[in-house]
Amino acid sequence: MSLLNDQLVERAATSAGVILLVTASLWLLHLVRTLWRLRHVPGPLLSKFTDLYRAQLVRTLRSHEIHQGFHDRYGAVVRLGPRMVSVSDPAAIPTIYPMRPGFPKGDFYEAFIPYLPGGSLPAIFTARDENLHKRLKSPVASLYNLSSIMKCEPSVDETLDVLFEQLDTRFVATGKTVELADWLQYFAFDVMGTMTFSKRYGFLESGADNLGISTGIWNFMLTVGPMTQVPWLDKILHKNAIAAKLKKASGNKIMQIAADAVAERKAETAAKSESNGNGNGHSHKSAKQDFLGEFLKLQSASESSPPWAPLVWTFSNIIAGSDSTAVVMRTTLYHLLTHPSDLARVRAELDALPNLTTTAETSKEGFKYPRWTDLNTLPYLSACVDEAVRLHPPFCLALEREVPASGVVVCGTYLEPGTRVGMNPYVVNRHKGTFGEDAEVWRPGRWLEGDEEHRRKLAGSVMTFGAGRRVCLGKALGVLEVKKVVAALVVNYEIDLIDPKAYTVENSYFFRQKGILAKLRRRQA
């Protein structure tokens, strides 16, 4: 009996040894394969072994600068992970982000989709499936084109009235210092609230993020940013039922705000339909003329868009339509205040507008709001906004794609199928070979130099709004808001920056700034 037990133990030990040997061999084979596949692409040593390294870089909130440093050291093509390559040369944009299908989005984007017990809901930005992306984008694309967003100008002027009344009361009258970084964000959110829901969030009146939306978005990004680099870890830590019960994700909070708004509007519309004797639950005649109203109408009229489309369209407006615009507002205003000659030149353009003081362009409180049709003709204001868009894009991690089955050559480097490849807007937008040796500094004049072909090349080399088939839908709306608020501030106020060195930046995929501390005085007519 003892001999039999010994034999069983010996066999078990042998089997365990074989399993261990096979496991170790497979792991070693995987390691060799991982190291070998991108052996020709230079990069930091740790990036060859694990994606946890680049996730940790994001946690520093300075990954945009670190990535740029890698490219300065290693060149245009840098290995950032076992299967991930970053490219810095704008010449590669048409290859990695073509107008045709072929380079699908990588699992980088999975991190942005809030976990819901009933199943995740991809938005236009996060949808990796091309067919689903088309079903989500096509119905709403026209809402964000230039002719449509020009109709939003009254909402911007209405919100400017509230902003300036608050600035006058709180800071001009008292002489207190204003943190313009915060107030520009409050403005951006309340504008989007007006456009999306026909009502402001109330940030401006309260002088604070009274609903915790912007705080929730930033907390969401603090989690999402690192997880984009290690999507497999995101599923373990955040995207499962156990994790959802232990900790409520910030993204779910924003999704809940969107869901509540959609449900409220549907109930409101249904009630109006019943009161009008229309039992089908859809009264387009009584629908509010805002984004949410349009979303619901489009979904009910479309056979291809999924039933949850209005929810993700609304979620996108909340989470991406305000913070990203505020980044460009802050960048433009801060650099104008730290470059007095540029500020003077923009102000001279604005003061020269022939209709600036007419009743149609002056608020009830005497504030002057230049019209979009006039603002769009001012070359130096446009150059300043273009330079702000270039210097500090709202999104500062590589926008990853998957190399197709054919493989690809990028900047002379072959990348095999399945490789993750992407371009970081912050790094690409500062490419010295394209934008000049002074690419690191603010110089709006670069957008007015050379011939039309040169200026088109510069514009096509900026990755701020994405590229190819996935260009940001809200680009035109964002630019309108930026030009309107910056122009109105410059026309109506003298702004004295307290301490330029107080200005700070952080990046966890979303880029944000603080420290535009100033004193305000109303300009004399």
Contacts by 341-350, CB closer than 8 A, 24 or more apart? 342/380, 342/384, 342/442, 342/444, 343/490, 345/380, 346/378, 346/380, 346/381, 346/384, 346/486, 346/487, 346/490, 347/490, 347/491, 349/378, 349/379, 349/380, 349/381, 350/378, 350/381, 350/487, 350/490, 350/491
Answer yes or no: are the C-beta atoms of 284 and 188 closer than 8 Å.
no
Task: Locate 140 and state its tokens.
Answer: 């709403």
Residue type, 182: D
DSSP 346-399: HHHHHHT-TTTTSGGGB-TTS-B---HHHHTT-HHHHHHHHHHHHHS-SB-S-E
The residues, any chain, with a CB within 8 Å of residue 371's CB and separated by 6 or more, are 153, 355, 361
Euclidean distance between CA atoms 208 and 221, whole angstroms: 20
The residues, any chain, with a CB within 8 Å of residue 370's CB and separated by 6 or more, are 350, 353, 356, 361, 484, 487, 488, 491
Vertex 330: Cα angle to 191 and 170 (nearest 5): 70
Neighbours of 298 (CB within 10 A): 18
Euclidean distance between CA atoms 389 and 382, whole angstroms: 10
Euclidean distance between CA atoms 158 and 162, whole angstroms: 7
CA distance between the termini of the chain:
107
472 carries a ligand binding annotation: yes
How many separate helices (H) and strands (E) can be counted in the chain?
Answer: 23, 11
Residues annotated within the binding site for heme are 472
Q: Which residues carry a binding-site annotation? A: 472
